Structure 1
Amino acid sequence: MGKIAAEPTLEIRCKRASLVEKSFGELETFPKQRLALAKFEEHAKVFKNTRLFSFEMPGHAGGERRYVVSTLERFWMWYISLSERHVYELIVDSMPCRLYFDLEYCRETNPGIDHEDFLVLDSSTESKFSAHVICHLPGGVLFPSNTSMRPFCARLAGQLLEDPPVKIWNTDATKVR
Structure 2
Amino acid sequence: MSKWGDRLKKIEQLAQSFQQHPLTTPYKPRLWPCQPSSVWKLFPRQSMAISFAQSCKEDVHVFALEKENASEGQRIYLVTSYSELWHYYRTYPQSLMHCYEVIPEGAVCKLYFDLEFHKPSNNGADGKSMVFLLIQYVCGKLMEVYGIKCSVKNVLNLDSSTEEKFSRHLIFILQNAAFKDNIHVGRFILAILHPIMNKIKDESWLGNERRTNVSEMTESPEMKRVKKEERDLSFLLVKDKDGQHCSFVDLGVYTRNRNFRLYKSSKVGKNAAFTVAEDNEFISTSKKGIGVEESVFLASL
Shared fold, TM over 0.5: yes
In the alignment, the residues of structure 2 paired with residue 70 and residue 60 of structure 1 have an alpha-carbon distance, to the nearest angstrom, of 22
The 1:171–1:98 alpha-carbon spacing in structure 2 relative to 1, beyond 3 Å, is farther
What SS is found at the alignment partner of 1:41?
helix
| Cα distance per residue 1:74-93 (max 9 Å; x no partner) | 21112122133332212112
Q: Which residue of 2 aligns with 1:77?
A: 87
Partner amino acid, structure 1, of 2:45: K
For the pair shown, the structure with the greater C-alpha radius of gyration is 2
TM-score, scaled relative to structure 1: 0.75
Tell me which protein shows more strand as a share of its residues.
Answer: 1
From 162, 165, 170, give the equivalent of 1:128: 165
Report deviation, 1:115. 3.3
From 49, 74, 81, give the equivalent of 1:64: 74
From 42, 54, 62, give the equivalent of 1:52: 62
| Cα distance per residue 1:16-35 (max 9 Å; x no partner) | x9884994241112222222
| CA RMSD in angstroms, aligned pairs only | 3.4
In the alignment, the residues of structure 2 paired with residue 109 and residue 99 of structure 1 have an alpha-carbon distance, to the nearest angstrom, of 28
Partner amino acid, structure 2, of 1:47: E
| Cα distance per residue 1:63-120 (max 9 Å; x no partner) | 4222211111221112122133332212112221110011121112222223344462
Tell me which protein shows more helix as a share of its residues.
Answer: 2
In the alignment, the residues of structure 2 paired with residue 98 and residue 132 of structure 1 have an alpha-carbon distance, to the nearest angstrom, of 12
* 8 Å CA contact 1:9, 1:57 repeated in 2: no
The 1:167–1:73 alpha-carbon spacing in structure 2 relative to 1, beyond 3 Å, is closer
Report deviation, 1:142. 0.7
In the alignment, the residues of structure 1 paired with residue 185 and residue 29 of structure 2 have an alpha-carbon distance, to the nearest angstrom, of 39
* 8 Å CA contact 1:97, 1:143 repeated in 2: yes
What SS is found at the alignment partner of 1:73?
helix
Unmatched 5+ residue regions in structure 1? Answer: none
1:95-110 matched pairs, under 5 angstroms: 95-110=107-122
The 1:74–1:83 alpha-carbon spacing in structure 2 relative to 1, beyond 3 Å, is closer
What SS is found at the alignment partner of 1:102?
strand
The 1:92–1:170 alpha-carbon spacing in structure 2 relative to 1, beyond 3 Å, is farther
From 155, 165, 173, give the equivalent of 2:234: 165
Percent identity over the alignment?
26
From 233, 236, 245, give the equivalent of 1:175: 245
Runs of 4+ with >6 A deviation: none
The 1:19–1:65 alpha-carbon spacing in structure 2 relative to 1, beyond 3 Å, is closer
In the alignment, the residues of structure 2 paired with residue 56 and residue 42 of structure 1 have an alpha-carbon distance, to the nearest angstrom, of 25
Unmatched 5+ residue regions in structure 2? Answer: 1-11, 132-155, 198-229, 248-301
TM-score, scaled relative to structure 2: 0.47
Q: Which residue of 2 aligns with 1:140?
A: 176
Report deviation, 1:133. 0.8
What SS is found at the alignment partner of 2:87?
helix
| Count of matched residue pairs | 168
The 1:165–1:60 alpha-carbon spacing in structure 2 relative to 1, beyond 3 Å, is same
What SS is found at the alignment partner of 2:108?
coil
The 1:171–1:149 alpha-carbon spacing in structure 2 relative to 1, beyond 3 Å, is farther
Whose RCO is larger (CA < 8 A, sep 6+)?
Answer: 2
